[in-house]
Amino acid sequence: MGSLLLLLLLLLLSPSYPRGGSAWRRRSARTQGPGGPSRAPPETSAPFWVRISPEFKAVPPGGSVWLNCSSSCPLPEGSSLRTELRRGDTLSGHGWVSYQLLDVRAWSSDVHCFVTCAGETRGATARITAYKQPRSVILEPPVLMGSEYTLRCHVTHVFPVGFLVVILRRGGRVIYSESLERFTGRDLANVTLTYALRARPSDFGQPVTCYARLDLDGLVVLSSSAPMTLPVLAWSPASKALASTSIAALVGILLVVGALCLRKYLSMKSQA
């Protein structure tokens, strides 16, 4: 009996005997990969949106505008703005950033807002336009020079001039139009259009109107003058002088003819 107990004691003390701790270590080893302990797969980041407001804004040339960039990301890693316009102040809060843009003079500019969330970057785009509807469109009264009417139209304080078209209409028909796309200035401008219209009998009494049209890639801004009527008699100073001379000559001829007739009559009466 004593020898049996001694044999069991030796077996328990043997390094090759499978103990509970070694069994746990073997199980733990089976859960490890070749690169070390396995980790739980990372959570997939939920989709997030990015918005910019307003998406379209028109300002007068030289004006400023605020754009607000917001997102649904709970913990944004960063936000940025890409634009060629001059930047001003920046304000921020939870989930949003507002940017100020100063001295807007380009007639059309795209502004891009970007937000990075969980390593992913998304963006939104806004368009800023700068234009100024004409302060006034004035058509001067037509002046008759010989056989042509001179029509003069003034378009004041308009921008951008390069997108302006000036149109003259007689009744419902276009008689002349001119595009000013050759002008590329970035300031408010005044434009004067002069056109010579050959006078015809059918033109007398017809209304003439001057139109100023800004065609900004789909945004059309139209202004017009008050209509002016082509008068039946529109005398220029030269025409008045010519008419006076003609009348005086006619009166002189009539007087001479009358005097001759009277003299002949008196001569015939004296002979009788």
Q: Is residue 152 part of a domain?
A: yes
Whether the pTM exceeds 0.75: the reply is: no
pLDDT of residue 30: 40
pLDDT of residue 143: 87
pLDDT of residue 147: 84
Q: Please, are residues 87 and 101 in contact by the beta-carbon 8 Å criterion?
A: yes
Range(s) of the domain holding residue 95: 50-130
Q: Is residue 18 part of a domain?
A: no
pLDDT of residue 9: 47
**What total of structural domains would you count in the chain?**
2
Q: Is residue 3 part of a domain?
A: no
CATH code assigned at 115 = 2.60.40.10
Residue spans of the chain under pLDDT 50: 2, 4-12, 15-44, 234-236
pLDDT of residue 237: 58
Among 123, 121, 97, 93, residue whose Cα is nearest residue 111? 123
